Amino acid sequence: MGKSMTSMMTGLAVMFVAGLSVGWAQQATVTLVSPKDGDVIGSRMVIQWEFKPAGEVNHIHLYLDGANPGPPFGTSMELTGLSNGPHIVRIVAANPRHQEIGPEASAKVTVQGAAAPTTPLPAPRRSRAY
C-alpha cells in the first residue's frame, strides 16, 4: 500500500505541475501584427509581434518556412532577399528550456517581384601571348 500511495502522490504532483504550465501557457499571449495571413509582399518583410509572457512562458521562437531566421529581439524583425513564392511566418511562445508550450500565431504570405537569383559568370580565360 505504501508504494501505491507514493505512486499516486507522485502522479498527482506531476499533474498539478503540468496543469500549472498549461495554465500559464493559456494566459500568455502571442499576436502576429504583421504580416497578415494572405498578404502579398515584395522581397522585404517586416515581421511584427506582440507577446505577453506569463508564468514559465518567457519568450518566443520565430520561424520562416520552418527555419529560425535569427533570435527575435524586441517586437519586430526585418528580413530581406526573400524568394518569390509562398512563405510561412510562425511565432510560438516557449519556456526557459526552449520547450514550445505556449500559444502561437502564423501567417502565409506570397512574395512577388523579387529579383531572380543571378548565376555568376565564369571568370574570363586569359589567353597566353607568345
What is the per-residue pLDDT for 14?
47
Q: Looking at the domain assignment, is residue 116 inside a domain?
A: no
Mean pLDDT of 54-59: 94
Domain, as residue range, for 47:
2-111
* 16-53 pLDDT tens trace: 444 544 554 569 999 999 999 999 999 999 999 999 99
Q: What is the pLDDT of residue 26?
A: 60
Q: How far, in Å, CA of 80 to CA of 67, rounded?
A: 15
The answer to whether residue 128 is domain-embedded is no
Does any domain span residue 51? Answer: yes
Per-residue pLDDT tens over the stretch 72-95: 889 999 999 999 999 999 999 999
How many whole angstroms separate alpha carbon 29 and alpha carbon 52?
Answer: 5
Q: How many domains does the chain have?
A: 1
Identity of the amino acid at 106: S
Question: What is the grid cell recorded at 54?
Answer: 506569463
Task: Give the Cα separation of 112 and 126 in Å (integer).
Answer: 40
Question: What pLDDT does 12 receive?
Answer: 47
The average pLDDT across 49-74 equals: 94
Is 0.75 surpassed by the pTM of this model? no
Neighbours of 106 (CB within 10 A): 13
18: domain CATH number? 2.60.40.10
| pLDDT on residue 17 | 47
Residue with cell 524568394: 83
Is there a domain that residue 26 lies in? yes
C-beta of residue 24 within 8 angstroms of C-beta of residue 57:
yes
